Every structure is written in structure tokens, then in C-alpha cells.
Amino acid sequence: MKRKIFYDFVRSSVSGIFGGRLNRRQVDGMEAILNAFVEFGNGNRKALAYALATAYHETGTLMVPVREGFAKTDHHARALVSGRKYGAPGSAGHVYYGRGHVQLTWERNYRETGNRLGIDLVSNPDLMLESDLSARVLIEGLIDGRWNGDGYGIGHYLPESGPDDLEGARRTVNITDKWSTIANHYRVFLSAIEASGGVPTTITEPDCDAEEFGAELEDDHAKKNLAELLLPVLIALIEMMGKTSREIEAQSHSRSRALSGVLNKLKPKVRADKAELTPINSWLGNTVGALLDGRKTGFGIVGMLITTLFPVIFPESGNAVLELLAPEATSSEEVAAALSDLLMTLFATLTGWGVLGKTEKWVNELAQFR
């Protein structure tokens, strides 16, 4: 197989499956499947095409192992499946929801698959989120028919020569659920395999550059463009945070004076007293608010932007921060999700507090002209 031709084909807009572009994760995921087929496949181009189509469907086009419902953490996945028959913890305390390219489900399937591989998937179900292992399970499971109640593998439904039974082929994974949708994906991948010279016969290096295969690395470009777009915003907000509220008021003095002139003409009677802030807002303003000196909204917005962008633009640094904060954590994804939720809540609250305070002051100022 000429892999560049293969990726050019599936990426093209006429294929209709990837929207005319591929990112690095999608290429890496397909590389794992192609390599697994070289090592564990049967040489049948139709079997490979159906494996790719299955992964495309089960992973929501991501082509990498995922948790059921695309949950980011085990905790979130458990919550999603809590009402399903396989949603209760099993013998080892884990919940055996869908994982991997093929969405392996049920404890008995984890046990059987683990026994075939010589590993304990019952005690370590998240091993199915490792790309190479997941791809191997996908390929071998389709070929030997272990998930098919009728006992047939994919070759029974998609013979090398002969008509395809695409409805029956779906039974190798999940009865006939969505069989026609997956059949359409299968035809595209089969055409791509045939156009690129047939099934692969050699394994690529794990650190191969996806650009070598003609993939547009949208993730890298998106990160760079996003950083370039938001950097000026961050700088402007940080500069604003460096100024006191009096300096900001001084800069807008001419505008406020013009507005005051108009309001004075409309409402010449001015109240002698100045409305006070509510007790809670006043107490917060005199304590924490005083330390921030009118910068609450700026701190909140900058904090939310950094919380969102830092781990995306600088993943290595993000992982280092996580290790520093929780060195004994068993799952960096769970720590990241929890920390992100906490920080986003904190900074959103700070932003809301700042907006509330400014709004209340503006309302009180306008009330003086009544």
C-alpha cells in the first residue's frame, strides 16, 4: 500500500467521510489499524476496509480509542452508563462500558479478550484505550467472529471474491445496528485501499511524520492560529489589569462627561445621596475586591482563557503542572478534568462578580439623574 495515496483518497472531499481534512490523531489512529492488520490481519482487503469503517463509526470519526459517550474520564463514563445493564461495577470494581476502536463492552468480553492476549483486561480495562492494543483487538475480533452470536468472522460475510453481505457483516460487532451507515463508510475505505495498491505489507515506524502521508495537520495549525488570535486579547486584558480603576475612569472621562451632560439636560434633578452597594457585595468589595482593585473581570476572563488554552497549546507543560499538583494521581485525565472544572468555576465566578459590581455601580450612577 502507498499510504500517501490512501490518505489523500480518504481526505479528499469526494470521499465524503472526513470533510476534506485529516488531523494528526486521525492519521495516528489509522496507522495503528493498518499496522495491526499487517501483523494480525488475514490479507483480505475487505476485512481491513470493514475494520476502518467500524473504527470510523464507533469513535465518531476520531479513529483513536475512546471511552463510551466520548467521556474524558472513567468517572464521567460511569455516569453516562449508570442506567444500562453493563453500567454496574463488575467483579474487579470496574465498569465495563465501551472502550477502544471497537467499543468493547461487558465484563465477559473483557475477560475473553484478555485471555486471548495474555493480559488481565478485567483488572485493567483502560488498556483498551491504548491505540496499538485496541487496534489489534479490533482486527482479531472481526476476523475470528468472537462477538458474533452466529460464530462467523468477517470473511464469511465479505469474502475476498464474491458478493458482500454488509448487513450480516455488522453482526461481527453489534448485531445489525447502523449496518447501512457503516456499509457506506466501508465502500469508501475499500476504494481507498484499492486505489493505493491494496493492503499494507509493512509496518511504519511509530514516530513517523503524518505529513509524509499527505495529512494536513489541522491540530497544529489550529493551535498556532488560535494562539496568534488570542495573544493580543490576553495582552490587552493584562494591560488593563495593570491599571487602577481610577486610571481607567480617567481615560474614559471625556466620554462619561458627554454622557453626563446629556443626562443632566434630560434629568436636571440630582439626588444628594449616593446609593450603597448591597451588604454582601460591599463586604466582598472591601476585602477581596480591594486587593484586586477593580480588576476582577479582567482576572476572571484571563483566567478562563489560560485554563482553556494552556493545556492545548502547551501540552507538555500542562502535564508537568498536573504532575506537580497531583503526583500520586492514577489518571492524569481525571486530574485535568477536575482541575479544569474547578478553575473554570473559580474564574467564571470572579468574572461574574466583577460584571455584577460594575453593573451595580453604573445603575446607581444613572439613578442619581432621576
Residues 149-162 pLDDT 10s: 999 999 999 999 88
SS3 content of the chain, % helix, strand, coil (to 5): 65, 0, 35
Domain boundary among 216, 241, 266: 216
If asked whether residues 60 and 174 sit together in one domain, one would say yes
198 and 329 in one domain? no
pLDDT for position 350: 73
Do 194 and 243 fall within a single domain? no
Across 103-125, average pLDDT:
97
> Are 13 and 161 in a shared domain?
yes
Domain assignment present for residue 23? The answer is: yes
Higher pLDDT among residues 274 and 136, named by residue: 136
299 and 239 within one domain: yes
Same domain, yes or no: 233 and 249: yes
**Pair 199, 291 in one domain:** no
From 172, 191, 216, the end of a domain falls on: 216
Domain boundary among 168, 195, 216: 216
- Residues 121-144 have pLDDT tens digits of 999 999 999 999 999 999 999 999
**CB-neighbour burial class of residue 56 (10 A; exposed 0-12, middle 13-18, buried 19+):** buried
Q: Are residues 327 and 199 in the same domain?
A: no
Question: Are 209 and 308 part of one and the same domain?
Answer: no
56 lies in a domain? yes
> What are the cell numbers at 262?
446629556
Residue-wise pLDDT for 41-53, tens only, equals: 999 999 999 999 9
Cβ–Cβ contacts within 10 Å for residue 257, how many? 9
Domain that holds residue 283: 221-367
d(CA 188, CA 166): 14
Residue 79 counted as domain residue: no
Note whether 288 and 203 are same-domain residues.
no
Residue 106 in any domain: the answer is no
Residues 157 and 203 in one domain: yes
What total number of domains does the chain contain? 2
In whole angstroms, what is the distance from residue 213 CA to residue 200 CA?
13
264 phi and psi angles, rounded to 5 deg: -65, -35
The answer on 175 and 28 residing in a single domain is yes
pLDDT tens, position by position, 306-329: 766 655 554 444 444 544 454 444
Mean pLDDT of 6-12: 95
